[in-house]
Amino acid sequence: MTVSIKEFPVSGPEAGPYGITAGPDGALWFTVVHHGRIARITVDGDLTSYQLEPASGPTIITAGPDDALWFTQYRNHEIGRITTGGDIGSFSLPTPESGPFGITAGPDGALWFTETNANQIGRITTDGTVTEFPLPVPGAFPSAIAAGSDGGLWFTMNAADAVGRIGVNGEIAIHRLPTAGSAPVGITAGADGAMWFVEIGAGQIGRIQPDGSIKEFPLPDRGARPHAIAVDAYGDCWFTEWGANRVGRITPAGLIDEHELPVPSSEPHGIVAGPDGALWVALEIGALARITPETSR
């Protein structure tokens, strides 16, 4: 597959664009972790930025069930909310220094998130009520989280080489990965009913079925450091290679192709399928990349 890539400068190189999601307004919303900002960009490149507490450390952002955007604030240990009009709110968490990181909308109308430092999964309603669920594996470092087609929330456990599932009733199941040192991070629901995830430590893409069966797909470059993953409208999964300055694609059958980014050492992090059919990638050097597949499917 061939692609075209266009980059949009959105900040200085020290600001750190990190997480990105598609908003309910047809725009892309992303976090600027080191400068404490949430930003919005249209598919044509029009940019708007909203200042948070500068040291708040916004990381992952997702569209909520209330037509707002919800995001984790890793450094001040809060969950944030911003409307498409730019009104900002923030909710403190019960556990101090919890380190919220991943966040996703659940099937129950609430937001579910990970607490890396507290070793917990959190749930927050749209009115700000928080419930926390301790994990049964000590020091697991829960990272990314995504809603599955089976009605559960699936999350990676970066320090435990495992993927977990939590039901909306709080019941937790743990699935150990075959590869030691795999250190999974990003996770997404695939079009095939499975969850697809990246193994930043092993240079692999993983696939886990609802019954817990796992298959791993090694990347051509095992040192690529895959970081985030998202599914496109055709059912393929696209992922960032943070350590190799590339974006890759894997089909449901496990076929992989990769694409170099134009600017060296751009540090690709978050990735999402945009409303324009392109893949949008947050680059820590201070830009977004728009990747448009050109080969017909």
Q: Which residues are annotated as a binding site for substrate?
A: 227
Determine the Cα–Cα distance for residues 24 and 191; give it in Å rounded to an integer: 21
Report the alpha-carbon distance of residue 68 to residue 88 in Å, rounded.
Answer: 10
Contact 200, 183 (CB under 8 A): yes
Catalytic residue among 34, 35, 77, 269: 269
Paired tokens of 6? 């266009």
Q: How many residues does the chain have?
A: 297
Q: Which two three-digit tokens encode residue 146?
A: 């995504």
CA distance 27 to 42: 5
285: DSSP letter: T
Question: Which residues are annotated as part of the binding site?
Answer: 227, 267, 284
Q: Is the Cβ–Cβ distance between 268 and 240 less than 8 Å?
A: yes
**DSSP structural state of residue 271:** E
Among the listed residues 279, 285, 251, the one whose alpha carbon sits nearest the alpha carbon of residue 265: 285
> Is the separation of the CB atoms in 128 and 121 below 8 Å?
no
Instruction: Decide: helix, strand or coil at residue 46.
Output: coil
- Say whether 35 is catalytic: no
User: Distances in Å between the alpha carbon of 208 and those of 39, 120, 235?
Assistant: 33, 21, 15
- Residues making up the binding site for Mg(2+): 267, 284
How far apart CA 131 and CA 121 sit, in angstroms, is: 9
d(CA 124, CA 48): 27
Please list, residue by residue across 152-187, b when 16 or more beta carbons sit within 10 angstroms of its beta carbon and e when fewer do.
bbbbbbbbbbbbbbbebeeebeebebebeebbbbbb
> Which residues participate in catalysis according to the annotation?
269
